[in-house]
Amino acid sequence: MDKLIPDPPPETTTPLAEAIRAEDLAQNREAIKRALDFYLSPQPVQPRQPSTMFLVNPGIDTETLLAHAYESLASASAMASNFANELGGPQRSTALAIQQIVMLAELAVNRALDRVDPRT
């Protein structure tokens, strides 16, 4: 049986073509290495530097911080409740929803405060 299409001629490469091919392979390998390093070995995240405009004393104990947060949330809850009494309609509902969220945060802080200093 005769072939209708002859075999392609063997590839003959020139030294210049080989050099270009080797350079392309090296660039491809480098790109692959950078992509794998980016996704598989990410750079460590730099710790966030807090703003020094308002700084909480790092020496304050957790119980004091939680007590202050609880008092702040209680004040915010009272303010939202008073503000809601002055409003009507959808604005009143929004203010009461904000007050409820503040109250839930207040409960969470209160529970955390109980765990730090359980009442006996």
Q: How confident is the model at residue 30 (pLDDT cuts 50, 70, 90)?
A: very high
Q: How confident is the model at residue 114 (pLDDT cuts 50, 70, 90)?
A: confident
Residue 17's domain spans which residues?
13-45
Q: Domain check: are 73 and 112 in the same one?
A: yes
Whether 120 shows a pLDDT value over 60: the answer reads no
For residue 112, being part of any structural domain is answered with yes
For residue 69, being part of any structural domain is answered with yes
Domain total of the chain: 2
The CA distance from 59 to 101, in Å, is 30
The CA distance from 50 to 58, in Å, is 12
Non-local (6+) Cβ contacts of 70 within 8 A are: 106, 109, 110, 113
Q: Domain check: are 39 and 68 in the same one?
A: no
For residue 55, being part of any structural domain is answered with no
